[in-house]
């Protein structure tokens, strides 16, 4: 199903070791509104979505995995040269004690990823509205990450991700309208 290009969707550059910023970025790695939750949500929902929009969920779900890879790269680069003391000072002491510098799916507060983040109602309109909300929450989180980051290179990548969330939200809104229009058509047998 997938063809993997061995490059990031958008370049990720990091100027300095910054475990504190990495701690905040972990929210988009394993948090409720992060990239993993989005990818799993959309790829799961496509099984009960009408054929007219199934490709959209597949495309966006797949792209979310590319975003997850970008976030993972940022976190890795921000922490790869950090000492245990720097990790602890940044609020990642518990993470370090459990995982060293390995990535692990949890949010910025250290709460582990859970399947309760993934919503699927089985009603296409309800699921698409859930998807719009997920994209808007991710967009807001990216903006807040940009607001607290002082790394222009990271901010460039975060702005790219924020803009992709806006596009995804717009595409899901278009899908809602397509399904509403389809629902309103008279069916003749």
For 91-127, the pLDDT digits (tens) are: 999 999 999 989 999 999 999 999 999 989 999 999 9
Query: Could you give the CA distance from residue 80 to residue 28 in angstroms, rounded to a whole number?
Result: 18
Least confident of 85-89, 160-164, 184-188: 184-188
Per-residue pLDDT, 159: 98
83-94 exposure pattern, b = at least 16 Cβ within 10 A, e = fewer: eeebbbebbbee
Query: Could you give the CA distance from residue 120 to residue 189 in angstroms, rounded to a whole number?
Result: 31
CB proximity list for 62: less than 8 A, separation 6 or greater? 2, 39, 43
Per-residue pLDDT, 187: 62
List the Cα angle 32/54/57 in 5-degree steps: 25
Q: What residues are paired with 112 via a beta bridge?
A: 106
Query: Could you give the CA distance from residue 59 to residue 145 in angstroms, rounded to a whole number?
Result: 25
């Amino acid at each position: 199903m997938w063809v993997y290009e061995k490059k990031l969707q958008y370049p990720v550059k990091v100027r300095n070791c910054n475990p504190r910023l990495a701690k905040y970025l972990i929210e988009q790695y394993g948090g409720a509104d992060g990239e993993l939750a989005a990818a799993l949500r959309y790829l799961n929902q496509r099984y009960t979505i009408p054929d007219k929009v199934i490709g959209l969920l597949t495309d966006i779900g797949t792209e979310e995995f590319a975003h997850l890879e970008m976030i993972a790269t940022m976190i890795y680069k921000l922490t790869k040269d950090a000492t245990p003391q720097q990790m602890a000072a940044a609020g990642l002491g518990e993470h370090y004690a459990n995982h060293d510098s390995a990535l692990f799916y949890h949010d910025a507060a250290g709460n582990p990823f859970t399947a309760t983040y993934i919503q699927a109602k089985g009603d296409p309109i309800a699921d698409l509205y859930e998807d719009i909300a997920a994209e808007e929450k991710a967009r807001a989180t990216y903006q807040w990450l940009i607001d607290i980051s002082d790394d222009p290179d990271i901010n460039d990548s975060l702005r790219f991700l924020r803009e992709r969330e806006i596009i995804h939200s717009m595409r899901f809104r278009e899908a809602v309208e397509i399904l509403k229009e389809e629902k309103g058509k008279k069916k003749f047998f």
